[in-house]
Structure 1
Amino acid sequence: MANATATELKLKAIQIRQDLLRLIHDAKMGHTGGSLSNTDVLTALYYGVMRHDPARPKWEDRDRFIASKGHSVESLWCILADLGYFPKAELSTYCQFGTRLIGHPNNKVPGIEMNTGALGHGLSVSVGMALAAKKDNRPYRVFCIMGDGEQAEGSVWEAAMAGAHYRLDNLVGIIDRNRLQISGTTENVMGLDPLDSKWEAFGWNVVSIDGHDYDELLHTFESAPAQPGKPTLVIANTVKGKGVSFAENVPAWHHHVPNDAELAQAIEELTAAASALEATAAKGSGTNG
């Protein structure tokens, strides 16, 4: 989807949301809320920004993506399958005995750079990857998505110091700022605000955006590094459960598995959203034509 429009990316994200909901429903396990909240960020990266090639998953100059919030893997599995990193039919094995598609990223699968799941590790490895690119004079960038609840891990801040110290402007950290975690709101569990000031104090260029707005997502990711010599931290303000009305901003949907009726309602809502997008796009095209 090179040069995809914002509308095309929104439609792709709706498809990915439908796929991940079916995935979780059929497997009877998964992390629904966080996968729905990070879908737009991942869609913007994989279909609009990152340099990567499913036919050459080990291409040396590929951009690297690390899902440090590895529990929200379902959106990533659906995107990698859609792009052809592995057969889409394999999605039916998710979380089944002997599968490669487990409940966290697994580097036995093409397109996965590292196993993640223990929160707080992804940014540290991303710093190492970005530093290696600098030392080897390689052009690739490293993108690392973290949860906002993950910011309570001390290793995140050790990595933040290292990223700034080594002037890794080829490193982009992303926080899926949906303000909810498994046991409640982030501010009740472990207050984070002012999150932007904290990261700025650690030497990062910080950008706060709407994590569901494709114009903002594409511009921000394509512009990095906006400040030479500084890593970029993107606070992507998102809605947990995005796209499913009865799941949005509901903490219980952190790992709630939709039942048959909930799945049907969610798919119906997303299908209606896609139809409305297509109608708006067609109307705009007709007007301009």
Structure 2
Amino acid sequence: MTNEVLNDLQKTALNVREHIIRLSTDGGCFTGASLSATDLVVYLYKQFLNVNKNNLRDSSRDYLFLSKGHDVPALYGTFVELGWMPAERLQHHLSPNDSIYWHPNVNVPGIEFHSGSLGHLPSVALGVALDCKIGGSPNKVVCILGDGELNEGSVWEAILVANAYKLDNLLFVVDRNFFQANMPTEELIPLEPLPDKFAAFGAAVKRVDGHDFTALEDALTSFPFQKDKLNVLIADTRRGKGLPSIEARADRWFCNFTHDEVDALLGELHGEHAATLESETLVVR
């Protein structure tokens, strides 16, 4: 990954986080969870998926299904940065006159399927992947899941079926931020050791830092991870990433800030971003 590409990804992710924070008022949104998924969504759309504003309904495109639908602010923000949606449309958030609200709606160009009821979209994604496989099409199909969502039995049923049909064109990305709603996952229903569990169900598994674009690149360059197996990428993330004041807090899953608080958080975001750029040593491959 070149410095130019890395800088572009970091800038895009920063802009998406700005959009998320601005959506966190006048009714609010699922701020913490959306911030944890931002880098994943940005990387997938900008570097991994063959999908753009000119092929959104083309059968040759790749597909992304956001099963943890409450992270849709990260999608909205990414769509704005990709030029698929005007930034002004985000001002219609929660308006009865638009489809911009707490979960994905297919009336928004780029949204592949309605989601919000957790555990449903892995099966939708595997159905699309199976159709692509039967038709001999090279499409990649990605489904982003929350870690708390893994408590749904339908997720594991989908993994079994995906491996039974050897869907190596299908990638499940787990946003592993270690929270389920307002509780740490390991205090509610412990999930670890996740790699062993996915492997026991027949998947090919990798685990990475979900905020490290170079690590994501290294992991996904070798897609599919193994022939004839479902691919699972466990991405370790941090709820509220980019805002130290709300990071890893159980009470910052859903947020409805005042306008003054939003302004303060935007300042915090840019201060944290500047400090990170100043202190980190970039390893470019």
Instruction: Name the TM tier (shorter chain).
Output: over 0.9
Which sits farther off after the overlay, 77-86 or 15-24? 77-86
Summarize deviations over 1:51-90 as a string: whole Å, max 9, x none. 1121231011111000000011111011112212232211
Identity %: 35
CA contact (8 A) 1:11 1:277 kept: no
2:140 is aligned to: 141
- 1:200 to 2:199 alignment: yes
- Code of the residue aligned with 1:190 in structure 2: it is I
Separation in 1, partners of 2:106, 2:3:
29
1:257 is aligned to: 256
2:77 is aligned to: 78
1:17 is aligned to: 17
Separation in 2, partners of 1:170, 1:143:
9
CA contact (8 A) 2:182 2:253 kept: no
Summarize deviations over 1:218-241 as a string: whole Å, max 9, x none. 222232102111111011000000
- Return 5+ residue gaps in structure 2 as ranges: none
TM-score (norm: length of structure 1): 0.92
Separation in 1, partners of 2:226, 2:4:
26
Summarize deviations over 1:20-77 as a string: whole Å, max 9, x none. 110222x322100100000000010111211112123101111100000001111101
State the Cα distance separating 1:185 from its structure 2 match: 0.7
Aligned residues: 281
CA contact (8 A) 1:71 1:104 kept: yes
Q: Once superposed, what is the RMSD of the aligned Cα atoms?
A: 2.0
1:62 is aligned to: 61
CA contact (8 A) 2:209 2:235 kept: yes
Secondary structure of the 2:70 match is coil
Separation in 1, partners of 2:249, 2:279:
29
- Code of the residue aligned with 1:185 in structure 2: it is P
- Return 5+ residue gaps in structure 1 as ranges: 285-289
1:104 is aligned to: 103
2:30 is aligned to: 31
1:88 is aligned to: 87
Separation in 1, partners of 2:275, 2:267:
12
CA contact (8 A) 2:145 2:174 kept: yes
Alpha carbons of structure 1 residues 3 and 76: separation in structure 2 relative to 1, 3 Å: farther
1:287 is aligned to: none
1:122 is aligned to: 121
Separation in 2, partners of 1:86, 1:15:
14
